[in-house]
Amino acid sequence: MKALHLLLILGSVISIVSTDNESMVVAGGLIITTSVVLVSVVIYFTTQPEPLRTFNPAGLKSDLGQALFGQHIVSDVVLKAVSSFMADSNPNKPLVLSFHGTAGTGKNHVSKIIARNLYTKGENSKHVHTFIYDNQDPNAYSVWLKQFIHTSVENFPRSTFIFDEMDKMQPQVIDVIKPFLDYNAHVNGVSFHKAIFIFLSNTGGKVIADLALDFWREGRKREEIKMHSRDLEIMISESISKNEKSGFWHSSLIEHHLIDHFIPFLPLELRHVRQCVLAEMYYLNKTLDAHLADKVARDMPFFPKIHRVFAEKGCKSVRQKLALYVDE
């Protein structure tokens, strides 16, 4: 019988290392041993839960305003959604957010901002769990994922789960998450109402970029784009549910309306990339140089090719690009 051995911690999950005979998730503290046929679970807890921060909506608003560039829709929806959820002492379901947009527009960044406003150790908290699915055996991964989520919430109801590159995840793996997201869901005696699930995906990015380009061609400001503009949220939902290459395709999450908000991340303009470069200078303790920031930003690829309106990679690789200029 082929066995699957998993070693992990209540904290960030990095990856599963596979061999011909077994797979291993390395992260420590919690040991789950499973078999493809029989499942046995042995759990060891070595540390006490970390305390939550006292949630302050004004703090989240400030962080979004100062550290997020060009994403007015994201700032507005995330602030309202998270603030309302944290103010509710007895929510009727977990908070489920789905972030969509092209690369480098801030999806991971916003996830970290949320974590920093909820936990004393921010995104490094052991109650913030990040998953990146990398073509592991979907059956074995589903068994492990279901147990991991259940155990995490059982021991800390305010846990946060971040699923990166959701578009690469198999539908059957996504469907394992469904019972935890439903209204009034209790799974094996555990309530998931206070947990947060965040999905990150490039799927829907083209729909969002096309709408942003339409507004630009019409001479309208990007700030005029709203969640309801030309049924943007509906278009995102439809684009990912009909995309056969997306993990959401044939997944029951959309069919059962379990995602609270499909949040669009707009493609970034030159001015936003310039802000990212300045932020990197500050982070690296470099002298803030607006001229250099402009030079680095302009060296990034933009689309459409002729007009160079939006950055193809957003702020991704800004730090690496900046490194080429700092000694000049």
Q: Is 102 annotated as a binding residue?
A: yes
11 annotated as a binding-site residue: no
| Residue 101 marked as a ligand binder | yes
**323 is known to lie in a ligand binding site:** no
Q: Report whether 209 belongs to an annotated binding site.
A: no
The answer to the question of whether 247 is labelled as a binding residue is: no
Orientation angle between helical segments 171-181 and 138-155, nearest 10 degrees = 20
Is 279 annotated among the ligand-binding residues? Answer: no
104 carries a ligand binding annotation: yes
Q: Rounded to an integer, what distance in angstroms lies between the CA atom of residue 62 and that of residue 229?
A: 26
Binding residues: 101-108
Binding residues for ATP: 101-108
